[in-house]
Amino acid sequence: MAKKIKNIAVFSSGGDAPGMNAAIRAVVRTGTYYGLNVYGIIGGYEGMIKGKFKKMEKRGVGNILHRGGTVLKTARSMEFMTKEGRAKAYKSLKKKKIDACIAIGGNGTFTGAKVFTKEHNIPFIGIPGTIDNDLYGTDYTIGFDTALNTAMEAIDRIRDTADSHNRVFFVEVMGRHSGFLALDTGIGTGAGGIVIPEKETQIEDLIQLLKKNATRKKLFSVIIVSEGNKMGGAPEIAAIIKKRFTNFDTRVTVIGHLQRGGSPTCMDRVLASRLGFEAVNALLNNKLNVMVGITNNEVNYTSFKKAISKSKPIDLRLLEMAEILAM
Ligand code: F6P
């Protein structure tokens, strides 16, 4: 028979994402509703190793739903990548009598969870939280929608100045190795071109596109570039293009960490609340060592292995659509 769960710990790890606080609130309030003791771990796996626990109360997570960042802090722990580091983390969890952990994060977080749960007998549940949206097993990850909207607002402003000066702007958005952020930002801003790592032959296409624009007297353009392209980000791609179009006035903007902060959108707050609630329910229903996700508006569970190793397909038809609509 499964061990009765009484004490759980929740933590955020890896790059922060708007909506993580909403997920923490949901875990704490759902857990306490079911009579569990909920602890927060400060600073992700680093905090787990160092034994930084904090008892969480339902009123203690008031007024955080709308805030970006994470009240539990976060880190990318090198020590947790080692067997010794994970053994220390296990010792800390045991000392605190933690029966199960809820991890909010992305790829690196679940890679750690996968290895840890193979080595030690404390189960984990994962909540997908990353602006990159690159996890298999959920349509959206927490923070993706907010990051999209932040990038969109920034690019709307760039568009104004690009138009005034007849300039070609190369705008770099985050996404690590995946182009989800770039693709949707590009569609949402009517970008003249979108360069993502999932499509390799794009430089030639882009050159043809800019040539076409020039003959059609389309004098300004905003090209969205995902940071994870093989040829580099916006500065590198802008340099390649500039060599072929010396007469174009080009500029580069890297949006960077602006996309990671700010108040989460309602979409992200709802998603995070649902996932936090479902993570606790999964634990209580003995669905262990899985990431909880939502696909087609239904809750589902994916093993950590699948969530990190299967790649979520990007719809390349949307690139084609974006090009047609930006004419
Ligand atoms: O995974 C989220 C993310 O923002 C990626 O899009 C980006 O490549 C990376 O984190 C940046 O990491 P850091 O904040 O450590 O510079």
Residue nearest ligand 1's atom 14 by CA: 15
**Residue 17 alpha carbon, nearest atom of ligand 1:** 2
pLDDT for the residue numbered 108:
97
Q: pLDDT tens digit string along 20-67?
A: 999 999 999 999 999 999 999 999 999 999 999 999 999 999 999 999
pLDDT for the residue numbered 2:
59
Q: pLDDT tens digit string along 83-120?
A: 999 999 999 999 999 999 999 999 999 999 999 999 99
**Residue 131 alpha carbon, nearest atom of ligand 1:** 2
CA 12 from chain centre, in angstroms, equals 12
Q: pLDDT tens digit string along 131-145?
A: 999 999 999 999 999
**Spacing, Cα 131 to ligand 1 middle (Å):** 9
Q: pLDDT tens digit string along 166-190?
A: 999 999 999 999 999 999 999 999 9
The one catalytic residue among 16, 99, 132, 205:
132
Question: Best of 74, 109, 131 to mutate for ligand 1, by most ligand atoms within 8 A of CB?
Answer: 131
- Coil, strand or helix: which one is 7? strand
Quickly state the pLDDT bin for 72 (edges 50, 70, 90).
very high
pLDDT for the residue numbered 130:
98
Question: Which residues are registered as beta bridge partners of 248?
Answer: none
What are the sequence ranges of the domains in the chain? Answer: 2-143+264-309, 145-260
CATH 3.40.50.460 corresponds to the domain 145-260: yes
Task: Tokens 């609130």: give the residue.
Answer: 25
Mean pLDDT of 209-230: 86
Mean pLDDT of 313-327: 93
Mean pLDDT of 288-310: 97
Residue nearest ligand 1's atom 2 by CA: 15
Q: Which residues line ligand 1 (CB under 6 A)?
A: 15, 106, 130-132, 174-176, 227, 260
What type of residue sits at position 318? L
pLDDT for the residue numbered 207:
85
pLDDT for the residue numbered 42:
98
Q: Is 132 a catalytic residue?
A: yes
Domains 2-143+264-309 and 145-260 are alike in CATH topology: yes
Asked if the model's pLDDT at residue 217 lies above 80, the reply is: no
What value does the mean pLDDT of the chain take? 95
* CA dist 71 → 21, 40, 93, 283, 323 (Å): 6, 9, 20, 23, 41
Mean pLDDT of 286-307: 98
Burial of 84 (0-12, 13-18, 19+ CB in 10 A): exposed
**Residue 134 alpha carbon, nearest atom of ligand 1:** 1
pLDDT for the residue numbered 216:
76
Asked if the model's pLDDT at residue 1 lies above 50, the reply is: no
Alpha-carbon dihedral sign for residues 117, 120, 123, 129: negative
CATH number for the domain whose boundaries are 2-143+264-309: 3.40.50.450
String of DSSP letters for 23-81: HHHHHHHHHHHTT-EEEEETTHHHHHHHT-EEEE-TGGGTT-TT-SS-TT-----SGGG
Alpha-carbon dihedral sign for residues 198, 128, 12, 50: negative
Question: Best of 107, 176, 227 to mutate for ligand 1, by most ligand atoms within 8 A of CB?
Answer: 176
